Amino acid sequence: MAHQTVGYAATELLDSCQGPVVEPDPSCPVEIILAALRGRWTALALLELLHGPRSFSQLAQALPTLSEKVLTDRLD
């Protein structure tokens, strides 16, 4: 089977973005998502939330090395 190249609408989104900035440009959805995912522990908290709705205490138990302050910051 031959490889088929497929175009994605996402490339249009990337073309509209300026590149790395200090504050995300509200017109660039890629920058907004990357800004939301920045920070240590964010990916692990999101991974836990992929299993379904969790209470704060359930997340804290699932991520025992994460302080409650940092968990609060990541959920904010």
Q: What is the pLDDT of residues 13-26, one digit of tens each?
A: 556 666 666 676 77
Amino acid at 47: L
Q: What is the pLDDT of residue 58?
A: 92
Q: What is the DSSP string of 24-72?
A: --TT-HHHHHHHHH-STTHHHHHHHHTTS---HHHHHHHSTTS-HHHHH
Output the pTM of the full model. Answer: 0.53
pLDDT of residue 32 exceeding 60, the answer is yes
Q: pLDDT tens across 33-54, in order?
A: 777 777 778 888 888 888 899 8
